[in-house]
Amino acid sequence: MDIAKLVLEYIRAFVWPVTLVAALALFRKELAVLLARLRKAALPGGVTLDFPEEVQAARSLSEEVRKAQKPPEQKRGPALPLNEVNARLLSLKLQPSPSGLDFSYYRTLAEQDPNLALAGLRMEMETMARNLAVGFNVALSARDSAGSLLRRLRQAGAITSEQAELGESILNLCNQALHGTRVSLNEAEAVIDIAEVLRQQYISWLSWGFPDGWQPKNVRAG
């Protein structure tokens, strides 16, 4: 009798593991699809789970935005030198750039702390969005997020849909770093490289987007 009870206990102990293994085997395809969805599920605030795939998607989008840049814009005149960026911004009554639009600052920071570098890049992106809103007379408030500003700028025709989508992708990647996703040096450098196309187009706007006849100091001195 004792042996019968012992056998029964063993059976009870193994019922759940055997059932689980059988379920996994039976529904393996459905589980694979579910897990793929979970890797890309959205968290509060628009944060997604699949960081490497987000980086790759943003890289492809940045190339599209770069190619879509109008060639005449590249020939309109000299671009704003980095050492004049914040003076130019202040003269236009805009917020100065945390890095002076010199993204080598974030690359150096990434060597010490990749997550911190992307946190800084996020601040840079928000400053750019706010300055664009002011420059294009788009209503904003202190509570507006960078993402909402990008959408409003797109609706106002100040930026293209592709630029807005790229900006939101970069913000999303930076938000993941802020929310605790572990970012490698290579990933942080990739995100900074991706943001370069928007930085260049932003500099073009500061150089030629205002009817004040701005020229670099070396040209004015000559």
Asked if the model's pLDDT at residue 10 lies above 70, the reply is no
* pLDDT range class, residue 147, cuts 50, 70, 90: very high
- Predicted local distance difference test score (pLDDT) of residue 17: 46
CB-based contact 92:135 (threshold 8 Å): yes
3-state secondary structure of 150: helix
> What are the pLDDT digits (tens) for 23-42?
445 555 554 444 444 334 44
Asked if the model's pLDDT at residue 15 lies above 70, the reply is no
- Predicted local distance difference test score (pLDDT) of residue 11: 47
Rg value, the chain, Cα: 25
d(CA 168, CA 52): 16
Domain boundaries, the chain: 1-39, 47-209
Q: Which residue has the tokens 């900006």?
A: 167
Q: What's the token pair of residue 205?
A: 């706007």
How many residues are recorded in the chain? 222
Asked if the model's pLDDT at residue 18 lies above 80, the reply is no
d(CA 92, CA 36): 48
d(CA 182, CA 153): 31
List Cβ neighbours of 50 (8 Å cut-off, separation of 6 or more).
39, 40
Task: Note the pTM of the prediction, 2 decimals.
Answer: 0.75
> What are the pLDDT digits (tens) for 98-117?
999 999 999 999 999 999 99
